[in-house]
A and B are shown apart, each in its own frame.
Chain A
Amino acid sequence: MYPEEFEDQKPFQPFAMVEFAENPEPRCPCVLLLDTSSSMQGRPIQELAEGLERLRTELLGDAMAQKRVEIGVITFGPVRRAAEFTTVDQFEVPPLSARGDTPLGAAVEAAIAMVRERKDQYRQAGVAYFRPWIFLITDGAPTDDWSRAAEAVREGEAGKAFSFFAVGVEQADMDVLRRLSVRPPQKLEGLKFGQLFQWLSSSLAAVSHSRPDDAVILPAPESWTRID
């Protein structure tokens, strides 16, 4: 581990605290962990991008959620931070292109790290925050070792460090998702990304209006899920 005497090095971010001074509302962070492996090519990736745009516009309609919900995007593979956390008003849908394999384990670990980093920034800035969400959308079977990631997800959920949600698309290996996620994974019906992101937006808005350590009752996901 790290030496105790000093803090670990950080990137130079002279204006990192500015956004929190200008908007000190409690934050509700959500990482979208998106599978952009080559199997997503064509319509799936296009629908996914449109879904993201829908998420943005829906959240923009809620004055409070707009100040509280923060979206970050990680795409895989390869694992890449496609968008750092920003509040919805400044969120831009990153360009998505389908290529590469499905390093699910590495991606999940990257998301957990991203969340941890952001929480540290909140604490530095002295703003309160809600439990972060990690929202995984994948259509394939992992091509790397994901046992460590699954362990980290279990730990994080148990320690209330974050909530992990998994959604499988088309031929996704639901069995892997069941073993990865503590919460039961959902299966997307067809390519109903629009409904999925609309659901995500109303869920995040509901969370952002709740008390930071409250259990929130999420809307039923029936509009986009398939029960096998």
Chain B
Amino acid sequence: MTKAQPTYLTADGRLVTLGPPLGRGGEATVFTVAEDPGLAAKIYRQAAPESERKLAAMAKLTNPRLLRYTAWPLQALYTEAGLPAGFLMPRVEGARPIHLLYGPKSRQIHFPEATYAFLTHVAANVARSLAVVHDAGHVVGDVNHNNILVTPAGTVCLIDCDSFQITAQGETYPCHVGVSTHLPPELQGQSLRDRLRTANHDRFGLAVLVFQMLFCGRHPFAGRPQSSEEVSIERAIQAFRFVYSLKRPDRGMQKPPYSLDLTCFPPALAEAFEQAFSPQGVAERPSAVRWVKLLEQLAQELLRCRQKPHHWYPPLASSCPWCAWEAEGVFFFLAPQSRPGTAWLTRDVEAIWSEVRQLGPPPLELPSQALRGPALPQADPRFPWPLAMAGGVLSALASFLLPWGWALLACWAMGMLWQLGRAWRRSRRRRQLETQLREAEAQYAELVQTWQRGLAELERLKQRAAELYRLWTAIEKQKERLIARAHQRGRQLQLQRHLQQFAIADAHLEGIGPSRKETLRSFGIETAADVTRDAIRQVPGFGPHLTQVLVAWRNALEQGFSFRVDPAVLRRAVESAPEWSSLVQRQLQLGQQLSAIRKAARQQVARLNRLRADLEPKARALMGSIAEWRKQLDGREGGRPARS
């Protein structure tokens, strides 16, 4: 039924079966776990030998507080040969890398509802997550935009915890990695191998991320260079050239256009950025806890725009910056009505569908011969009445004819009694066994039916999901057609405009002189855009040859045209189509239904797994008794053939 999935073992011998993969990184792939939908397994392509001890140490350090903020390793996993393979961790659902939130463009797709207040809230949660790790005595090391995940509810989870620098029982397990845009100046250009990392290093990365959250994805060290020099982010970090600094006038870089000023923020928060990015920061930067306080404070003080209630902005800005920039065509936060009506992306729906489709518990493993066993012999073999009767008649005759005949008769009577008694006991025992056997078999059938009912329920959910997915893709096709039509119209318009640039009056056309051109003009044919075979056929004096000349001219001009899609224009055109919003609405519903079905299906798989754990031992016990009783029954009646 299900194909064999790779399995691994935990240190205490528990079997872990991999389900569909959730994601793939440079060194490992993360899988779902068939036994428990709440877990994920990270399997290395090549497990580093030192990882085993580190993971085992980390598993021991697990605590509920860490688990609220991180995908902390719960148990190391081994291959069946006992080699380290990866680890089990809590599964994080529906969360996305933080860069998809702080980048304005990707935010509109992945977090369309997010306001500046949401960003501030999430930034504080990022600081909380680091504070928790630091408090436990560890260092994240590789703080970056890809390994902090954000849920739609605004909570965060640190992933890739196996790369953290861990300190346990006096031993330190190092962190070898880092992303340069989030590394402090003291680590820039240095080898990270075996370098002792500190919480103060993490605080730099945290300050960069908080900055990116509050400044709409801008990096604190990327600006407009004022000379022709090429300044990379790394070199700017090393030289402490914090572009937004109010204290360092000698940065050589200006703030980028459409970016906030540090002066928009409460002085304490501005000062924290200055401190984190300054030479003094090398000794000490604002701690994660400090950032939590500052960001909580900021969240309290945010202002709300009077014109557009979805615009929240920093407290010391003179007016709503988002409104001002919208007037110039830069949209940082989408108004509720103009948000792409669906938070359900095709990719999400595909992922849900492919997960549901593959959901299924490992099959129930039962000894199957029981149900195919030989049919029970229907009844007792008959008592040999004719023989007994014949014996009776003979011994009765003998008792008359022979002197000691009565003794023969008595022997016969005793023999009869003994035989009858034995037959009676045997048939009682047999009835007993038969009853037990029938009951056991009924119980067994009941177990199998329970299992099959569970499977059928899962199957029903899957069929429903298939139906929903089919509807979804049908709508997707309709949307694609609308987009293609808008695209085509846009192309047509642009082509028209392109061709309108070429006046017939200015063109060198073989056999078409000024007077013929004048004739064309009087028929409204003035530019290449007006040239069609049908239009020219109406003009007197233009036969097939001249028509061909004009059409060829137009076609040559058309060759030089290249279509430039303006995504904003295209989107407006698509969204103004009357059927668009109903399609989007319908997809929204379908997406929600599909996601609900996935939840139900996952629960059903978990239920089946529990059921199996309960059923298998019971079924095995029943099967044992059934086989034993059957043997006993067969032994009495069918013993002879077995012996022969």
Chain A positions near chain B (C-beta within 8 angstroms): 14-15, 17-18, 20-26, 63-64, 67, 80, 82-84, 90, 92, 94-95, 97, 123-128, 211-214
Contacts A23-B217, A92-B565, A211-B180; A123 near B104 (Cβ below 8 A): no
Cβ A21 vs Cβ B179 within 8 A: no
Cβ B224 vs Cβ A24 within 8 A: no
Is B256 part of the contact surface with A, judged by Cβ < 8 Å?
yes
Q: Which residues of A contact B145 (CB under 8 A)?
A: 64
Is B7 part of the contact surface with A, judged by Cβ < 8 Å?
no
A contacts with B: majority SS: loop
Q: Which residues of B contact A80 (CB under 8 A)?
A: 562
Cβ B216 vs Cβ A124 within 8 A: no
Q: Which residues of A contact B99 (CB under 8 A)?
A: 25, 63-64, 67
Cβ B255 vs Cβ A126 within 8 A: yes
Rounded to whole Å, the gap between the CB of B95 and the closest CB of chain A is 13
CA gap between A15 and B329 in the complex, in Å: 7
Cβ A128 vs Cβ B325 within 8 A: no
Q: Which residues of A contact B594 (CB under 8 A)?
A: none
Interface residues on B, range: 35 or more
CA gap between A80 and B97 in the complex, in Å: 39
B contacts with A: majority SS: loop
Cβ B243 vs Cβ A126 within 8 A: yes
Cβ A124 vs Cβ B224 within 8 A: yes
Contacts A21-B216, A23-B104, A83-B562; A213 near B232 (Cβ below 8 A): yes
CA gap between A92 and B563 in the complex, in Å: 9
Is B257 part of the contact surface with A, judged by Cβ < 8 Å?
yes
Rounded to whole Å, the gap between the CB of B143 and the closest CB of chain A is 15
For the complex of A and B, list the 5 residue pairs with the smallest distance between their C-beta atoms, beginning with the closest. Answer: A126-B256, A21-B258, A211-B180, A23-B105, A126-B224
Is B225 part of the contact surface with A, judged by Cβ < 8 Å?
yes
Which of the residues A18, A26, A82, A84 comes within 8 Å of B222, measured between beta carbons? A26
Which residue of chain B is the closest to A60 with respect to CB atoms? B347
Q: Which residues of A contact B235 (CB under 8 A)?
A: 213
Cβ A214 vs Cβ B106 within 8 A: no
Contacts A125-B256, A213-B232; A22 near B224 (Cβ below 8 A): no
Cβ A25 vs Cβ B103 within 8 A: yes
Cβ A24 vs Cβ B180 within 8 A: no
CA gap between A14 and B180 in the complex, in Å: 33
What are 14 A-B interface contacts by the 8 Å CB criterion? A17-B257, A18-B258, A20-B258, A21-B332, A22-B331, A25-B217, A67-B105, A83-B562, A97-B559, A127-B222, A128-B219, A211-B180, A212-B232, A213-B235
Is B147 part of the contact surface with A, judged by Cβ < 8 Å?
no
CA gap between A84 and B564 in the complex, in Å: 9
Cβ B222 vs Cβ A24 within 8 A: yes
Cβ B255 vs Cβ A21 within 8 A: no
CA gap between A214 and B189 in the complex, in Å: 10
Contacts A67-B105, A211-B181; A24 near B218 (Cβ below 8 A): yes
Is B259 part of the contact surface with A, judged by Cβ < 8 Å?
yes
CA gap between A43 and B174 in the complex, in Å: 54
Cβ B258 vs Cβ A17 within 8 A: yes
